[in-house]
Amino acid sequence: MSHFEYQNGVLHAEGVALSTIAENYGTPAYVYSKSQLTGNFDAYANACVGRDALVCYAMKANSNLAILDLLARRGAGFDIVSGGELLRVIAAGGDPKKVIFSGVGKSVEEMRLALTHDILCFNVESIPELHRLNEVAGSMGKKARISLRVNPNVDAKTHPYIATGLKASKFGVAFDDALETYRTAAALPHLDVSGIDCHIGSQLLDDAPLLEALDKLIELIDALGAEGIHLHHLDIGGGLGIDYGDGAPVPVGDYLGRLFKRIDAWRAQKHGGKPIKVIFEPGRSIVGNAGVLLTRVEFIKHGEEKNFCIVDAAMNDMARPAMYQAWMDMQPVVKTESDAAMFDVVGPICESGDWLARDRELNVAPGDLLVMKTAGAYGMTMASNYNTRGRAVELIVDGDKVHIVRQRENPADLFALESVIK
């Protein structure tokens, strides 16, 4: 079930009317449902019960401390892509020993920070990165646990910007180069070769490409084992999609069930029954449908060819439509009976690319409230201050309680680090 439902014609987040939230906290606002968030995580956790598995939430999807804290308390690890994200995990009380570090451009400083906190694993994406990490670990008298991000070259059939497992991708090590790269890693004295990982793309509604990628990873684990390189974990990445209103993904439990079945069969037949830890890196499927972006209509403008509904949220609050031409569902907070017309929903920013939804049938007037649904992932984390717009307030609703988990930025904060030349 969804935790965003109409009650008496008014859209609610759990037990609180979004109209009440707009009155009390203003707009634009990101509103998250605690139950939806924790339920999404539990779907993964429940499918992993009794297994050696770790769900590392890919926090670039939404890195608010309150969200990290709620997930950490349920046992989540974290997939980070920067030193800043590691500091967030620590600030939220998460366990650095459950952190894996992804990304193609880790700096020396970031490596040092992660080694200081003894993270679980570095997901290494290139040979130069292996050498840099080996040097940094050596200089600290440590050994770095590593996994290689292998590019299994399966077509995730998603938007090109979020497909990451193809040959032309900047991510990972080519499948055909993987064995040689593992040999290089195994020969470096300050690295501890511990796993294998991949991440083939995002917003996958079908698990077939993920299972195909799993088969390719297993093939490599067998080949490495034959050379005496034994891996302790297998990390299948994230990528499971959510329903933006245009199609539902395979349920998490079904996907994990099929994945574990394949792993169990392989372990029994070829892996000598030996255990292997399984790691997941879900982002979008944990937070995406747990958040909405609440916005108020400023003006209605009738153009020559189109009607525009100008709202107080913009591409700086939610970049997905402008960046990926993403289709996001727009709904009125208060349902009305009267006639709808076609509108483009746009923000106040001085760019033609500043749109949130196109060609939508809406019944709207100035002052009305709208929500962009399924906006919890890659919303606030991609927000900017373009046009000197403070970022939106973030709220978590828990039953009939509303908690501010990030205050609205005020313009003075935005230029506080700037100075004029004396």
Question: Is residue 282 marked as binding?
Answer: yes
Of 205 and 334, the one with the shorter C-beta distance to ligand PLP is 205
Considering the complex, what minimum distance in angstroms separates the CB of residue 83 from ligand PLP? 16
Question: Is residue 239 marked as binding?
Answer: yes
Judged by CB under 6 A, which of 36, 153, 202, 331 binds ligand PLP? 202
> Residues near 230 by Cβ (< 8 Å), separated by ≥ 6?
224
For residues 96 to 115, the per-residue mask of contacts with ligand PLP, x marking binding by CB under 6 A and - elsewhere, is ------x-------------
Tokens of 191: 């690295």
What residues from 126 to 145 belong to the interface with ligand PLP (CB under 6 A)?
none
For residues 206 to 245, the per-residue mask of contacts with ligand PLP, x marking binding by CB under 6 A and - elsewhere, is -------------------------------xxx------
For residues 250 to 289, the per-residue mask of contacts with ligand PLP, x marking binding by CB under 6 A and - elsewhere, is -------------------------------xxxxx----
Of residues 191, 171, 71, 65, the one with CA closest to residue 121: 191
Of residues 157, 222, 148, 215, the one with CA closest to residue 185: 148
What residues from 24 to 83 belong to the interface with ligand PLP (CB under 6 A)?
58, 60-61, 79
For residues 151 to 190, the per-residue mask of contacts with ligand PLP, x marking binding by CB under 6 A and - elsewhere, is ----------------------------------------
Considering the complex, what minimum distance in angstroms separates the CB of residue 171 from ligand PLP? 7
Angle between helices 34-47 and 252-269 (to 10 degrees): 20
Question: Is residue 351 marked as binding?
Answer: yes
Question: Is residue 361 marked as binding?
Answer: no
Q: Sign of dihedral through CA atoms 302, 327, 34, 313?
A: negative
By the rule CB under 6 A, 374 interacts with ligand PLP = no
What single letter denotes the amino acid at residue 415? F
Of 282 and 291, the one with the shorter C-beta distance to ligand PLP is 282
Tokens of 355: 């749109």
Question: Is residue 219 marked as binding?
Answer: no
Considering the complex, what minimum distance in angstroms separates the CB of residue 401 from ligand PLP? 28
Considering the complex, what minimum distance in angstroms separates the CB of residue 199 from ligand PLP? 4
Considering the complex, what minimum distance in angstroms separates the CB of residue 27 from ligand PLP? 26
Of 152 and 347, the one with the shorter C-beta distance to ligand PLP is 152
Q: What is the CA radius of gyration of the chain?
A: 23
Of 12 and 60, the one with the shorter C-beta distance to ligand PLP is 60
Q: Examine the residue annotation and report whether 198 is marked as an active-site residue of this protein.
A: no
Known binding positions: 239, 281-284, 320, 324, 351, 378
- Interaction site with ligand PLP (CB under 6 A): 58, 60-61, 79, 102, 199, 202, 237-239, 281-285
Task: Show which residues are catalytic.
Answer: 350
